Chain A
Amino acid sequence: MQPINRMRTEFLSKSANESFARVVAASFAAQADPSIEVLADIRTAVSEAVTNAIIHGYGDEEGTVVLTCVLYPDLIEITVEDFGKGIEDVEQARTPLFTTRPDLERTGMGFTVMETFMDSLEVESKVGQGTRIRMTKHLKSR
């Protein structure tokens, strides 16, 4: 499938950028005229992925988060990438309610939210190199 449009933005791993990232992704997706429910799902999933990059990927260090959106005729592909500490055991990390930061009142629901709100979720991670989340969502009702 040939992409219709593509955007890429990078920003510092500051928590203020969580809202920036979800607004940017949703307004890019809006050009395909999806339902408000679909836009809400995209906002929430992007917020989860970017928050993870900021608090788990980088923690107290500062780094760069890259958000990429590719628009296809009836689908959007969203990638969130960090170059932080990576995930040792991706399967365990994706388990509902698993969190390494209960001290921050994290619930371990982030990956479950991304999986539920999007149509697909892939997690690629290397310890010491970073994590790449790829999610897709159909934009038209099927």
Chain B
Amino acid sequence: MDVRFKRDGNSLVVMIEGEIDHHTASRIRERIDSKFLMEPVKNMVLDLSRVTFMDSAGIGLILGRMNRVKLIGGSMVIRKPRPEIQRILRMSGIKELIELDA
């Protein structure tokens, strides 16, 4: 598991690599939250193109970050989820809450 960041104007682009489960989610969460506080940004882009596995812990992770972004009036985008994780994104209803950039 690895998390990398890039700043794109008013957005923090978060690239998550590897598997998201309950075990990895807590470290991913800490890294994203501290970076988001440090950077002068409002919005967040979650690049999931390198996520190879995700269970409901990933849904919790995404919704938790969305709430933080919303709190400061920003918006969130999910970018390029692989087919393997599209199924759980679909069933979670997250697609109705967050913009998806396929």
Binding site for B on A (CB under 8 A): 15-16, 18-19, 22, 40-41, 43-44, 47-48, 51, 54-55, 104-107, 109-110, 112-113, 116-117
B23, A19: Cβ atoms closer than 8 Å: yes
Q: A105-B60, A105-B64 are in contact. Are A116 and B91 (CB under 8 A)?
A: yes
Determine if B92 is an interface residue (Cβ-Cβ < 8 Å).
Answer: yes
Q: How large is the interface on B (under 10, 10 to 19, 20 to 34, 35 or more residues)?
A: 20 to 34
B22, A18: Cβ atoms closer than 8 Å: yes
- Residues in chain B near residue A16, CB distance under 8 A: 23
Residue of A nearest to B1 (CB): A19
A43, B53: Cβ atoms closer than 8 Å: yes
Binding site for A on B (CB under 8 A): 19, 21-23, 25, 29, 53, 55-57, 59-61, 63-64, 84, 87-88, 91-92
Query: Which A-B residue pairs are the 10 nearest by beta carbons?
Result: A15-B23, A105-B60, A109-B56, A47-B55, A51-B22, A105-B64, A107-B60, A18-B21, A18-B23, A107-B59
B55, A51: Cβ atoms closer than 8 Å: yes
Main secondary structure, interface of B, reads helix
Q: A48-B55, A105-B63 are in contact. Are A113 and B91 (CB under 8 A)?
A: yes
- Residues in chain A near residue B61, CB distance under 8 A: 105
Supply 15 A–B pairs (Cβ within 8 Å), ascending by A. Answer: A16-B23, A19-B19, A19-B53, A41-B87, A43-B53, A44-B55, A44-B88, A47-B53, A51-B21, A105-B64, A107-B59, A107-B63, A109-B92, A110-B55, A117-B87
Known pairs A51-B21, A51-B22, A107-B59. 11 more at Cβ < 8 A? A18-B21, A18-B23, A19-B19, A44-B55, A44-B88, A48-B55, A107-B60, A107-B63, A109-B59, A110-B56, A113-B56
